[in-house]
């Protein structure tokens, strides 16, 4: 009997609800489950029947053949072939069961992962801001892995155990009541001992898992921060800390594996003792004339098949509880409230027609189903079109991420079509929060001011339409695995080759792209780790240019670009910003000198506003920042 390693078990908070939820997924295969139960029953009963045939084989054939000069082997051969047929039927049933369960489990996990991924895509940004990315990733990896193990191993084994143990127990009672009583008594004592050792083993393994997590976290942190370690000569401190954590892991692993390793031999030896006691009592029953050799041999053969599954029940139950805990976490994410969108205003391509110019003297907007380069807001209930101009107004806006912690206070600003608005301030002053509200990553409450876009309340605009009208270049550039061309076209999946090239040239990314090994077909992996930070930022700017949005948000867009590169792209950026409403967040004040209005924020409040010359003349905070008397943090 192999050693049973007891892992630390995580239990679900609501087992019944989680099981019913899983049944709702597995219920889609309701036509296959009867086949599974039938095959499991046949497989289990085949094992019982094959073992029972050992009795007539001994009593009716083998023992009578002893000393016989011309035994009739034909009935015995027929019995042998019957046993072979029964075991082949059991093997075929087991194979069919495994194949069906593999299909059910993989399809169920596929459906769960699909529902989880699709639901995560509908959740608001604040959900991801409040959850560590590693926790979300574990839903797709660790938690689904435990479910796969449960579907493919634990559940089939428990089903097989149930039918097998039930069938064997009935057969054993039929064979010999005294031997059955002895076996059940010894099994109870063995399980009691295994439970006590298992508890200690489970505690030890939980400690080991915690120490593994600590070691892995430390290693990951050190690998990512290797430059910092070397710069500050902290190698010896890193070695000391690692040795300390590694020693704790060794001690915990020693305890855990000690319990796990002694459990197997103890169970094995006790099962041998049980087998020996059963054989001894069986021998006396034969001597006393209360049984026969065939019955005892069959009973001994069945003892192994009865005790081994029972000793593995606790391990399978632990595996199922871990899987249910993982499923509960997955379903908890799926049950998260999706991002609400009550918008009634859509964004459509449009063009102006002069068909009615003779009547009223004005042009009219007509919706187009092909890209025109011009956009219009469409009120879905009436079909009325309104030209998108890029007029954005914040009026008395107040906002808090958490209750009673005010982030923005009484924000008033007006970005007129084609204006460049610069937001300046130290970290935490509320610059990025303003753009989060403009994109509706977060929404303000009704009594906390208003935001309008072309005189339309922003909450009346559909979120996907709103975000299609906005182009963003973030400080933390994120590139996807794929070619340079695909990453630039991510802003506009229908972009032509010429549009991709034009966007790259506009951002001055074309010059370095053409020198890459495969040019625009160069594949980016690892979030563009093979590119410099400045090159990655240029690609992000090109991506925004390819989207050709009417409103731009540049969040520290040139923070990772050196002064020379900044000068090269400034003309391209000016072309990109021409005719668009632009919000610029910058620490580097040289990038905002030509802004139409510079807004200086401090602790969520606007403390100064004006153009570059006006603010310098005031000699206030902006003056101090620009002259270096005060540093942004």
What dotted CATH number matches 392-627? 3.40.50.300
- Tell me, what's the pLDDT at 4? 41
**Segment 278-291 mean pLDDT:** 86
Is residue 243's pLDDT more than 70? yes
pTM of the model: 0.72
**How far is residue 198's CA from residue 9's CA, in Å, rounded to a whole number?**
11
Tokens matching residue 277: 């006691």
Helical ranges in 225-292 per DSSP H: 226-231, 235-287
> What confidence tier does 57 reach under pLDDT thresholds 50, 70, 90?
confident
- Tell me, what's the pLDDT at 394? 94
CA dihedral sign, ordered 521, 522, 525, 531: negative
Q: With CA atoms as reference, report the closest residue to 151 among 322, 383, 334.
A: 322
**How far is residue 421's CA from residue 599's CA, in Å, rounded to a whole number?**
7
Residue 609 · residue 597 · CB < 8 Å: yes
Residue located via tokens 């061309």: 485
Residue located via tokens 């010896």: 236
Beta strand pairing call for 597-602 and 420-425: parallel
Of the listed ranges 29-43, 127-141, 286-300, 423-437, the one predicted with least confidence: 127-141
**How far is residue 302's CA from residue 155's CA, in Å, rounded to a whole number?**
23
Is residue 354's pLDDT more than 70? no
Q: What are phi and psi of 234, to 5 degrees?
A: -105, 25
Q: What is the mean pLDDT of the chain?
A: 81
Residue 1 · residue 309 · CB < 8 Å: no
Instruction: Tell which CATH architecture fits domain 14-175+311-339.
Output: Up-down Bundle (1.20)
Q: With CA atoms as reference, report the closest residue to 565 among 626, 495, 622, 511.
A: 511
**How far is residue 557's CA from residue 436's CA, in Å, rounded to a whole number?**
16
**Segment 450-463 mean pLDDT:** 92
**Segment 549-560 mean pLDDT:** 76
Q: What pLDDT, in 10s, does the model give residues 103-152? A: 888 898 899 999 999 998 888 888 887 776 667 777 887 788 888 888 87
Where do the structural domains in the chain lie, given as residue ranges?
Answer: 14-175+311-339, 345-387, 392-627
Q: With CA atoms as reference, report the closest residue to 191 among 272, 277, 311, 302.
A: 311
- Tell me, what's the pLDDT at 414? 93
What are the respective helix, strand and coil percentages of the chain, to the nearest 5? 60, 15, 25
> What confidence tier does 264 reach under pLDDT thresholds 50, 70, 90?
low
Beta strand pairing call for 523-524 and 482-483: antiparallel
Q: What pLDDT, in 10s, does the model give residues 62-102? A: 878 777 777 778 888 898 899 899 989 989 998 998 889 88
Per-range mean pLDDT, top range of 300-309, 321-330, 449-458: 449-458
Is residue 254's pLDDT more than 80? yes
Q: With CA atoms as reference, report the closest residue to 592 among 609, 617, 568.
A: 609
Q: What are phi and psi of 524, to 5 degrees?
A: -95, 135
**Segment 474-496 mean pLDDT:** 83
**Between residues 196 and 609, which one has the greater pLDDT?**
609
DSSP per residue over 527-549, as a string? TTTTS-HHHHHHHHHHHHHHH--
């Amino acid at each position: 009997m192999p050693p049973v390693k007891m892992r630390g078990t995580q239990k679900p908070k609501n087992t019944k609800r989680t099981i019913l939820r899983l049944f709702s997924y597995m219920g889609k295969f309701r036509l296959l489950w009867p086949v599974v139960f039938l095959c499991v029953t046949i497989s289990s009963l085949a094992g019982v029947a094959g073992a029972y045939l050992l009795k007539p084989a001994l009593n009716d054939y083998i023992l009578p053949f002893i000393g016989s000069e011309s035994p009739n082997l034909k009935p015995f051969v027929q019995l042998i072939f019957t046993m072979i047929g029964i075991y082949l039927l059991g093997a075929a049933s087991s194979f069919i069961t495994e194949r069906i369960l593999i299909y059910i489990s993989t399809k169920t996990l596929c459906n769960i992962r699909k529902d989880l991924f699709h639901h995560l895509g509908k959740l608001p940004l604040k959900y991801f801001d409040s959850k560590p990315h590693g926790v979300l990733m574990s839903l797709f990896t660790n938690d689904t892995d435990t479910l796969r193990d449960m579907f493919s191993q634990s559940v089939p084994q428990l089903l097989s155990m149930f039918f097998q143990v039930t069938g064997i127990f009935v057969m054993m009672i039929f064979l010999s009541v005294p031997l059955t009583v002895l076996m059940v008594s010894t099994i109870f004592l063995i399980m009691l001992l295994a439970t006590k050792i298992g508890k200690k083993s489970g505690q030890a393994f939980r400690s080991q898992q915690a120490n593994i997590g600590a070691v892995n976290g430390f290693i990951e942190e050190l690998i990512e921060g290797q430059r910092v370690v070397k710069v500050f000569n902290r190698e010896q401190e890193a070695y000391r800390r690692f040795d300390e954590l590694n020693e704790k892991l060794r001690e915990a692993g020693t305890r855990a594996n000690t319990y796990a390793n002694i459990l197997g031999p103890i169970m094995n030896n006790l099962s041998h003792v049980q087998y020996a006691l059963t054989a001894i009592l069986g021998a006396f029953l034969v001597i006393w004339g209360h049984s026969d050799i065939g019955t005892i041999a069959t009973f001994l053969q069945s003892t192994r098949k009865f005790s081994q599954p029972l000793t593995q029940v606790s391990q399978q139950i632990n595996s199922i509880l871990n899987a249910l805990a993982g499923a509960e976490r997955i379903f908890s994410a799926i049950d998260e409230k999706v991002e609400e969108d009550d918008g009634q205003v859509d964004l459509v391509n449009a063009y102006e027609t002069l068909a009615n110019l003779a009547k009223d003297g004005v042009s009219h907007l007509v919706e187009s189903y092909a890209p025109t380069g011009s956009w219009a807001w469409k009120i879905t209930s009436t079909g009325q079109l309104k030209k998108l101009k890029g007029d954005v107004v914040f009026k008395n806006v107040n906002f808090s991420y958490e209750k009673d912690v005010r982030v923005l206070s009484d924000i008033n600003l007006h970005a007129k079509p084609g204006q460049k608005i610069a937001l300046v301030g130290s970290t935490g002053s509320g610059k990025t929060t303003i753009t989060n509200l403009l994109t509706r990553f977060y929404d303000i409450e009704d009594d906390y001011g208003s935001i309008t876009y072309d005189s339309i309340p922003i909450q009346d605009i559909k979120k996907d339409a709103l975000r299609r009208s906005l182009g963003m270049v973030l400080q933390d550039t994120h590139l996807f695995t794929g070619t340079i061309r695909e990453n630039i076209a991510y802003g506009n999946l229908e972009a032509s080759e010429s549009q991709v090239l034009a966007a790259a040239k506009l951002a001055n990314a074309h010059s370095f792209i053409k020198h890459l090994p495969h040019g625009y077909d160069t594949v980016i992996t690892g979030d563009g780790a093979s590119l410099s930070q400045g090159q990655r930022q240029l690609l992000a700017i090109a991506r925004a240019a390819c989207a050709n949005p009417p409103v731009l948000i540049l969040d520290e867009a040139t923070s990772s670009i050196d002064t020379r590169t900044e000068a090269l792209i400034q003309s391209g950026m000016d072309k990109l910003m021409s005719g668009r409403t632009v919000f610029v967040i910058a620490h580097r004040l040289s990038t905002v000198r030509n802004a139409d209005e510079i807004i200086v924020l401090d602790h969520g409040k606007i403390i100064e506003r004006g153009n570059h010359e006006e603010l310098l003349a005031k000699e206030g905070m902006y003056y101090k920042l620009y002259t270096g008397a005060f540093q942004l943090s």
